[in-house]
Structures are given as C-alpha cells and as structure tokens.
Structure 1
C-alpha cells in the first residue's frame, strides 16, 4: 500500500469522465488499498480515483459507522428528500461551500471482486456518496455552490451564531 498524491482544483484529471472498471485484479486491489490509506492519512470522508490521477470509476466513502466502503462502478439508483449543508473536498483544500444534496441515497456498485451489491446512506453518508460519484463524471462541488468560504469565514460565522444564541 502507498499514500498517493491528491490532485487539486485546476488539474485537468479532475474534470475528465472516468472509465468503467473492467478488470478486477491485483492492480484494482492495490488502487483501492492506496485510496483507503491516502484517505485515512488525509482524514477525509471520501476519495475518488480521479483525485489521485486514475481515471477509473472507483471511490472510497466512510459511512456513519466509520467503515470505509469500496465502491467500484457505482451509480445512484434511488434518492429521496433534500438537505443543504457545507461541503469541503480534499482536492479543494481550505475552502467550503453550501450544496444541496438528497437526504437519502441508494447506490449500486461492485466490490473489489466484481460482485454487485447495494448500499444506502442518509444525511452525511448520502452527501458523501453524491460528492464522490460526481468526481467520476469530472465534477467538483464548487460547481454547485454560490459562494466559497475559507476556514476564517467559517470561524467568523460560527462566532456570530454563538453570540446570537447568547443574546
């Protein structure tokens, strides 16, 4: 296993459509293992193959139970509701934006051996599924937000909210 370099906004690989995975072999297994190790080191909630320069449809998502889910050739097959919340991205470090996403999502994907399965998630996990699958089609969350906030902006917003709550 190896820590891979996470590409940042502006790298052309982040805006390309990824190819389906067709070979479920050692090369894929190494990619999935590297994605998991890279994600853990970066302390993120999800990582897609194009974020490390590999244009294949593979992502890792951390679910509500803290498990790292491997999703190969994933697709959203059902969704319900709506949520609006802050998102960040390992490929857009230090910036955050409010994005509307479904409140619940069902994803169909293959595991590292090519077996199909379905997985569901709500709230934060649903947001992560949508965010990571967008990477596979060459999209970043920054396309879906009206404004980007810095860490300083967020600190100031939280401070103002605390002052309002205290009255």
Structure 2
C-alpha cells in the first residue's frame, strides 16, 4: 500500500515517536507500505512519521533493490564526520549541506524481532542517521549548515564531487 507523504511544517514530523512494542502483521504491512511509498517517490529512505505513523520504523535503500528495515533503531557508536548535501521527501525542493558522522554502529530489530547491529559508512551512514532523526522529530533543515538552491544543486554537486 502506497501512503501519501506528510509535508513540513506538519506537526507530526516534529514529534518523538514511540518504540514498537511488538512486531505484528500491522508492522510488517507498514514496512511493505513504506518501501512502496519510498520507491514511488524516488527516495532512498523513509520513516514512519513521514506517512503519519507515530512509531519508530524506517527503511533505507542499501543498494538498488536491497533495503534495510529498521525497527527501534539506536545509534550506539559514531566515528568521524563529513559534510554532504541532503534532501527529504517531506521537504520537497529544499536541499542543504549537513554534517553527520561518517561511520556509525546501529542496533535495531528486524521484521522477525531479532536484535541486529550494523556498521555503516559514508552515504549509507548518512541516510540511516537522517531517518533515525525523523524518528526523534528532527528534520535535516534543523542541522543544515548551508542551503543549496534547487537550480544550483547540480552545479554544486559537480563542484564538490571529490570532497
């Protein structure tokens, strides 16, 4: 099921979301719906609050066709830092530079209820941090160092390709 995306400044995007207490069929259906919604909107990640669900569930595309499903994710370690441009399905046409950890370790539950840990680096680490922020009511614009006008985005990316 594809869901409509909640857009900023909707209050639901600014709330801390409750942990999932039990993985039910409803949670599994939500994971499927999040994936479909993310793909339909050409995203690389999406969190439950972006579709109006007040629980700690998110999905990030690891590579084409492979998705990381995060239930109650928690960053337990960070290393390094880097800056890069981010955007968000809930804030269309807004892009900006955000500094994030370049390496993270995340503890989460998968759809079977098994506790998992993953180390993520660079781009994947950035995407996971972005989605976990959503679960705590934080938008990337609150961490933005510099806004990049949409009509200058392509040039900015080319100029900073090797940063």
Q: TM-score category by the smaller chain?
A: over 0.9
Deviation at 1:151, TM superposition (A): 1.7
What is the aligned partner in structure 2 of residue 148 from structure 1? 147
How does the TM-score come out when normalised to structure 2? 0.92
What does 1:14-53 align with in structure 2 at a 5 Å threshold?
14-53=13-52
Q: Cα gap change, 1:158/1:119 in structure 2, threshold over 3 Å: closer, same or farther?
A: closer
Bigger shift: 147-156 or 91-100?
Answer: 147-156
Q: Identify the residue that residue 106 of structure 1 maps to in structure 2.
A: 105
Q: Distance in 1 between matches of 2:140 and 2:131?
A: 9
- Work out the CA distance in 1 between the residues paired with 2:69 and 2:89: 18
Number of aligned residue pairs: give it: 160
**TM-score, length-normalised on structure 1?**
0.90
Q: Which runs of 4+ in 1 moved over 3 A?
A: 155-159
- TM-superposed CA distance for 1:158, in Å, is 5.6
CA deviation map 1:105-136 (0-9, x unaligned):
11100011211001111110000111000000
Q: Give the aligned partner of residue 138 of structure 2.
A: 139
Determine if contact 1:4/1:34 at 8 Å carries over to the other structure: yes
Is contact 1:63–1:121 with CA below 8 Å preserved after alignment? no
Rounded to whole Å, the distance in 2 between the matches of 1:104 and 1:140 is 20
Q: CA deviation at 1:156?
A: 4.9
- Of structures 1 and 2, the larger Rg is shown by 1
**Distance (whole Å) between structure 2 residues aligned to residue 155 and residue 28 of structure 1:** 37
Coordinate RMSD, CA, aligned: 1.7
More strand by share: 2
Contact 2:99 2:145 in 1 (8 A): no
